[in-house]
Amino acid sequence: MSINISTSLPMIKSLMRQNLRARPQRARSAGFTLIELMVSLVLGLVVIGGVMGVFMSTYQANAQNIKAVRLNEEMRAVMSLMTRDIRRAGVRTLAWQPSLLGSDNPFSTAPTAGMWTVSNMSGVAANSCVRLAYSVSTGDGTADDDTAATNRFGYRLNTAGEIETYNHTGTWSCGGGGWQPVTDGNIAWVRSLVFTTTTEPGMSGVAVRTVIVNLRAATHTRSLDPNNATTTADCTNIDVVCRQLVEKIRLRNDAVL
């Protein structure tokens, strides 16, 4: 059998060209290589990490702002409550009536000792408690000169970092019972509360002229129990928000205190 080489060569070349054309198609249908997949995964992780970083930064900033606002509101509310009561110290209902003129004010320290006292609870810094008394209007046109518990008030800092008020029961003393908190320990830990009394220079017979209330409080911005802030609420820590309020109160009834 004889083979015609002249007719076979074109056929062989045609088969080789078809084989070369088929190889790129098979390579394209084989998918990504391992290196390409690893590069894609790394790029995806970088993008996801960047998005998560921006989200966490925004979340922490919002959480810190919210706790700072709540701390400010808590401090301003309790400061307003204390200043309003302190301004009323020594007030006697219907003192302008002729029948009461010339009589002693029962809410004065002269006839009734202890109607105005600045002290502290045991275990707390000095001058962190104030006790005062004033007449609460009865609404029936008569003077309420009773110096009993209903006309006695007070504010103190306790050992748990909370401000308490006297609830008109129990012993009316800075170390006694019958006090209830007016600040929320989950919002603010009161670092210090100081009542400073001042007198008018050159004026005799006046024991108290003004009262300066200095309030310092803090809150932790992370998920930490604020009641443990006694050991963690360092104002140099970026996670701690600290605030200070100072109020100067003029006592209009200074002559009777």
pLDDT along the chain (257 residues), means of 10: 56 63 54 84 91 87 86 95 90 62 65 77 94 74 64 92 88 88 90 89 68 90 54 69 92 70
Q: Tell me how many domains the chain contains.
A: 1
Task: Please report the pLDDT score of residue 137 as a whole number.
Answer: 65
* Residue 247 domain flag: yes
143 CB neighbour count, 10 Å cutoff: 17
User: 63: exposed, middle or buried (C-beta count within 10 Å: 0-12, 13-18, 19+)?
Assistant: middle
- Alpha carbon 11 to its chain centroid, in Å, reads 90
Task: Please report the pLDDT score of residue 58 as a whole number.
Answer: 86
* Residue 130 domain flag: yes
Give the separation between CA 64 and CA 226, rounded to whole angstroms. 14
21 CB neighbour count, 10 Å cutoff: 9
* Residue 29 domain flag: no
List, for residues 135-192, the tens digit of each pLDDT value. 876 655 555 666 677 788 999 999 989 999 998 887 888 998 889 999 998 888 899 9
Task: Please report the pLDDT score of residue 120 as a whole number.
Answer: 93
Task: Please report the pLDDT score of residue 34 as a whole number.
Answer: 84
Task: Please report the pLDDT score of residue 18 as a whole number.
Answer: 63
- What distances in angstroms separate CA 90 from CA 16, 141, 165, one per listed residue? 114, 19, 18
Dihedral of the alpha carbons of 162, 167, 170, 176, in degrees to the nearest 10: 20
Classified as helix, coil or strand, 236 is coil
The reported pTM is 0.70
- Domain ranges, residue 217: 56-256
* Residue 50 domain flag: no
- The H-or-E segment that residue 35 falls in is helix 34-87
Task: Please report the pLDDT score of residue 143 as a whole number.
Answer: 55
Task: Please report the pLDDT score of residue 140 as a whole number.
Answer: 52
- Alpha carbon 89 to its chain centroid, in Å, reads 29
* Residue 191 domain flag: yes
* Residue 35 domain flag: no
User: 78: exposed, middle or buried (C-beta count within 10 Å: 0-12, 13-18, 19+)?
Assistant: buried
Task: Please report the pLDDT score of residue 142 as a whole number.
Answer: 53
Two structure tokens written together for 245: 């309020």
Task: Please report the pLDDT score of residue 170 as a whole number.
Answer: 76
Task: Please report the pLDDT score of residue 194 as a whole number.
Answer: 96
* Residue 14 domain flag: no
Residues written for the chain: 257
Q: Where are the beta strands (DSSP E) in the chain?
A: 116-119, 129-133, 152-157, 163-166, 179-181, 189-198, 210-220, 240-250
Task: Please report the pLDDT score of residue 185 as a whole number.
Answer: 86
* Residue 2 domain flag: no
Contact 92, 101 (CB under 8 A): no
Closest CA to 220 of 70, 75, 54, 77: 70
Task: Please report the pLDDT score of residue 256 as a whole number.
Answer: 62
Contact 183, 218 (CB under 8 A): no
Task: Please report the pLDDT score of residue 196 as a whole number.
Answer: 94
